Amino acid sequence: MSEPRILIVDDEPDMVENVTRILRRAGHRCTGVTDPARALALLESDRPDLLLTDLKMPEVDGLTLLRRARTLDPALPVVVITAFASIESAVAAIKEGAFDYLPKNFSVDQLTVVVERALRQRRLQLENVNLRAQLQTTFAFDNVLGRSPAMAEVFELVRKAARSEANILVVGESGTGKELIARAVHANSPRAAQPFVPVDCASLPENLLESELFGHEKGAFTGAVRTKPGLVEVAAGGTLFLDEIGELPLGLQVKLLRALQERQIRRVGGTVLVDVDVRVVSATNRDLAAAIARGEFREELYYRVNVIEIRLPPLRERTGDVRLLAAAFLKRYGQGRVLGYDETAMAALEAYRWPGNVRELQNVVERACALAETQTITARDLPATVLAGGRPASAAAGEVPAALKQAATGDVGLREAKDRWMSVLEASYLRDLLERHGGNVSAAAKTAGIDRKTFHRLINKHGLKT
Ligand SMILES: Nc1ncnc2c1ncn2[C@@H]1O[C@H](COP(=O)(O)OP(=O)(O)OP(=O)(O)O)[C@@H](O)[C@H]1O
Ligand SMILES: [Mg+2]
């Protein structure tokens, strides 16, 4: 709480002046007003930390002000000032949530003590609220993990967007968790009890996708032996998730746009219109604005599905999240057998650029868990690409890659350092060689000047794919 602010309300100007003077002298920032209506406005615009109010005032009485204040800011302490120490009205105020009351003939001490107590309560409340909000946003949103500021922003937006009925477009590089976010939106929306129906717009040719989306009548085409409702109908009352919407063929874009505008569809081969009630969440890793410019995506559809855009940052921009995710995936795949990472391995994970984002990290951890021979994952259990800091292996000749540097840092003997360097270099060299020979082990082994069996052993040791 920055410097706390106190709002004082009483219809008697003397009283306001008196209280304001005492509190200012005690070092507080105060605003005093005699008009309760003005106080209401200030409650909204100024967000004070403490409200001191008279109970009996013409127009708006103190209790109304108190109620209004508490709905605006449930953590706001309110101290009521009661004439003649009328206990009943004070009790009524406390029941309504007032923090405490003061008789009109209060002493300076009484006033300052109650104000200090109220402000302390305010501070604790705020800390609590912040703490709770932080816990919620920094660690997880449903199954979506993240504690980076970038993800905290995403969670905040997901929470707000979920409450609305607006169509949402989730954009982000491959593997950033777009589907996970789409599911979180649904799960936190009023439609949560209704179905979440994913449709992969990239997986089917246009005509099949059309009948998948909108359904078909019996006999609409060869093979349509019975009437089948489309996924848009199946999602009734719930959420339709259009994955890879950027891949939707133009013809279907037009049909989808019409369906969303008219909230009705016609099955393939059908004549009747069927009402549809869906909220659409879409995802894409394409730049739709560019697709629109190239005439590959309908602008009207874009505005229809993109009322709220949720942009997922790439993993490399989520400071601190690699460590958090790596730990979570280790729990999942380590099955109690693999328990941690050594420093070199963790440093390599954190330095890598993760072009495949969270999915790539997940795969790397799963693989490392399978390879780990002890309870601890070491650099040996990580793919050469990760160890090379994401740069092509050939770059290793020009400079010392980050992972190589890290491999030999810490208090290790020269021999250990050499071994680690060699292991990283060896993996990098082999990967490069395999790549240049298109995965042909015999050819790569020949170039390397070692026999196939040895080459295979090395491939396994470094967990390289052929
Ligand atoms: N923040 C996260 N916390 C935990 N797991 C995550 C997170 N983000 C992604 N994942 C996991 O990573 C994998 C990829 O996520 P998802 O399929 O949602 O990504 P995507 O953006 O839809 O990828 P693509 O563009 O390839 O379709 C999933 O297994 C998902 O559970
Ligand atoms: Mg996806």
| 3-state secondary structure at position 181 | helix
Measured between alpha carbons, how far is 99 from 181 in angstroms, rounded to an integer?
41
CA dist 347 and 359 (Å) reads: 19
Determine if ligand 1 sits within 6 Å of the CB of residue 387: no
Is ligand 1 within 6 A of the CB of residue 406?
A: no
CB 230 within 8 Å of CB 214? yes
Token pair for 373: 């021979």
Which atom of ligand 1 lies closest to the CA of 283?
Answer: 22
Q: Which residue's CA lies nearest to atom 5 of ligand 1?
A: 144
Give the pLDDT of residue 394: 44
Ligand nearest to the CA of 170: 1
User: Closest Cα to residue 284, out of 247, 253, 318, 252?
Assistant: 247
> Using a 6 Å cutoff on CB, does residue 402 contact ligand 1?
no
**pLDDT for the residue numbered 395:** 41
Please work out whether the CB of residue 361 comes within 6 Å of at least one atom of ligand 1. no
E-strand ranges in 201-347 read 215-216, 228-229, 239-243, 264-266, 273-275, 279-284, 308-311, 340-341
Using the atom order of ligand 1, give the atom closest to the CA of residue 328: 4
Residue 137: its pLDDT value, please?
45
The pLDDT averaged over each successive group of 10 residues in the chain (466 residues) is 88 94 94 91 88 86 86 86 75 85 90 93 75 50 85 90 91 96 91 92 90 91 87 94 96 95 91 92 95 96 95 94 94 92 94 94 96 94 86 45 66 74 81 80 84 84 76
Nearest CA to ligand 1 atom 18: 177
Nearest atom of ligand 1 to the alpha carbon of 182: 18
Residue 180 Cα: closest atom of ligand 1: 18
| Contact 318 CB / ligand 1 (< 6 Å) | no
Ligand 1 binding pocket mutation candidate from 148, 155, 179 (most atoms within 8 A of CB) = 179
> Distance, CA 333 to ligand 1 centroid (Å)?
16
Give the ligand whose atoms come closest to the C-alpha of residue 312: 1
Spacing, Cα 10 to ligand 2 middle (Å): 60
Q: Phi and psi at residue 328, in whole multiples of 5°?
A: -65, -45
Residue 93 structure tokens: 């105020």
pLDDT in tens, 61-70: 888 889 888 8
Mutation test of ligand 1: which of 145, 282, 358 has the most ligand atoms closer than 8 Å to its C-beta?
Answer: 358
Q: What is the percent of the chain with per-residue pLDDT over 70, rounded to a whole number?
A: 91
**Cα–Cα–Cα angle for 311, 313, 314, rounded to 5 degrees:** 135
Q: What pLDDT is stored for residue 163 in this prediction?
A: 84
Whether ligand 1 lies within 6 angstroms of the CB of 359 is answered as yes
Nearest Cα residue to 206 out of 169, 254, 240: 254
**What is this structure's pTM?**
0.60
Residues with Cβ within 8 Å of residue 426, at least 6 apart in sequence: 458, 462
Distance CA 17, CA 8 (A): 9
Q: Which ligand is nearest to the CA of 324?
A: 1
